[in-house]
Copies of this chain bind each other. A is one copy, B any other.
Amino acid sequence: MDAIEHVALSPLFAKLGRLAQLNESDLRLLGNLPFATRRVGAGQFLVREGKPTGDCAILLSGFACRHKLAANGGRQIVSFHLAGDLLDLQQLLLDRADHNVETITEAEVALVPKAELRRLARESPRIGAAFWRDTLIDASIFREWVLNVGRRDARTRVAHMLCEFATRCERAGFGSVQSFQMPMTQEQIADATGLTSVHVNRMLRSLETDGALSRSRREIRIRDWEAMRRIADFDPAYLHAA
């Protein structure tokens, strides 16, 4: 494998490096991973509920979300994803998708055959552990989201979602917690927090008039991070330094 392909997968390497200590041979195995890259527009489905699972997609640039639909027509976003995220590691062991994965911006993905990832996890216990660890952290984030939509009021919910997104962006190397770009619409924030877009708008305005944050277009600025943390009831421990 030449350097060009290494460069393409570098967001993944960065992420795995945060999950585990990888050695020379791990990096070589990763470098040999066969994959195809694809550029897709915003609003494209990468995984569809009920469909047999296919190749595993890795997000190289852009943003995506996972969501499920209720019979009453409601949509619930259950997670957001950014560059470096393995979009469906769970496909390695479960044979039908129980949710959708959809891009929310234009994005670039790498498609890796499931069998290759399984082989990789088997051949390097460190990489296998990193994969498992990643799915465990995902699960921890889902638990926090259950708490968020189940037991916090609208204002706290929206603030919490912002704090989590800001923290993950900073750790992945996009902007800082004090200033970052939101890729999602207010309707998508609503679907992630179990609210309506109208009420999300009210809550954002409330946070803004209270001086907790300022907005210009989709850029969010947070002057006093500690104050924001308190408003949002946000403790990043559940992210397990992801």
Main secondary structure of the interface of A (DSSP, over half): helix
* Copies of the protein in its oligomer: 2
Can you list, as one digit per residue, whether each of A85-123 has a CB less than 8 Å from chain B (1) or not (0)?
Answer: 000001001101011000000000000000000000010
- Do B240 and A98 touch across chains, with their CB atoms under 8 A apart? yes
A176 at the interface (CB under 8 A from B): no
Residues in B neighbouring A76, C-beta threshold 8 A: 146-147, 150-151
- A27-35, A38-46, A64-72, A213-221 - interface stretch: A64-72
A75 at the interface (CB under 8 A from B): yes
A152 at the interface (CB under 8 A from B): yes
- A127-135, A165-173, A202-210 - interface stretch: A127-135
Number of interface residues of A (CB under 8 A): 45
- Do A151 and B90 touch across chains, with their CB atoms under 8 A apart? no
- Do A143 and B71 touch across chains, with their CB atoms under 8 A apart? no
A144 at the interface (CB under 8 A from B): yes
- Do A136 and B133 touch across chains, with their CB atoms under 8 A apart? no
Q: How distant is A230 from chain B, measured CB to nearest CB, in Å? A: 8
| A residues lining the B interface (CB < 8 Å) | 50, 66, 68, 70-72, 74-76, 78, 90, 93-94, 96, 98-99, 122, 125, 129, 132-133, 135-140, 142-147, 149-153, 156, 193-194, 233, 237-238, 240
Given A138-B139, A142-B145, 14 more A-B residue pairs with CB atoms under 8 Å apart are A50-B237, A68-B143, A68-B144, A74-B152, A76-B147, A90-B140, A93-B132, A94-B137, A94-B240, A122-B125, A132-B132, A142-B143, A142-B146, A149-B194
Q: List 9 A-B contacts (CB under 8 A).
A: A50-B237, A76-B150, A93-B129, A94-B137, A96-B240, A98-B143, A98-B237, A146-B149, A151-B194
